[in-house]
Amino acid sequence: MHLRRFPRLRRAGRAVAAYVRSAPGTYIWLAVLFATTVVMHRMAPDRVDAFLRLRSTNIHNLSRHPLRALVRSALWIDGGKWLPYVVPYTVFHATAERWLGTKRWLAVVAVGHVLATYISEGVLLWAVRHGHAPRSAENTLDVGVSYGLASVEAVLTYAVVTPWRYVYGAGVLLFYGAALAEGRTFTDVGHFTSVLLGLACYPLTRGRPGRIDPAVAYRWLRGRFSPAG
């Protein structure tokens, strides 16, 4: 099949390539996650858990080699399913990187990933020391990219024009707040903390006015897909 015979397909391909280039950090990270997921799928199933625990940001690893644990944990996906991450990375991470720029976007990710990890593991350590959690919890499995994603979802509140900004921000808080109220695990604490940290990253959004307008998007979709009058 030659693309010259399909101009729409060619234009779509160029548009996708341009979008990927506009958010290099997002798609490089996604590519790394794809590679590590392939590696994990090639392991014997009985080795995966121990392998991921060595790369986990649990109490044991954070107390011995914190920097290595924090970096490694952001490069692996617990569960081994990569494809479901393509949509949230494109919708949230790529949008935030295009809006803030790569350096500011990466700063938001780092704030959410690092601080929420320490806060949630600190809560878990308190629970262990006061008898509310078993000692074995110090070596629990805690890898993944969800804290950074939650902080980016929250900071995008400032990319939405008012009054929709308040609706979006409240929705993010309610979503993660409900999960915390229902689950009350240390990961739920981490996710909700990430949201608060993302909202606290407001200074990084200065000079980047909100440009996401749901009303405009709705009118565009309605005009494109509604039947001709």
pLDDT tens digits for range 97-113:
999 999 999 999 999 99
Which of the four pLDDT bands, split at 50, 70 and 90, describes residue 229? very low
Q: Which CATH number fits domain 3-215: 1.10.10, 2.60.40, 1.10.405, 1.20.1540?
A: 1.20.1540
- Judge whether 189 and 132 are in contact, CB under 8 Å: no
Q: What pLDDT, in 10s, does the model give residues 160-176?
A: 998 899 999 999 999 99
In the predicted structure, residue 84 carries a pLDDT above the cut 80? yes
Decide if pLDDT at 16 tops 90. no
pLDDT (average), residues 168-196: 96
What is the residue whose two structure tokens read 């995008």? 156
- Give residue-wise pLDDT tens across range 26-64: 999 999 999 999 999 999 888 888 899 888 999 999 999
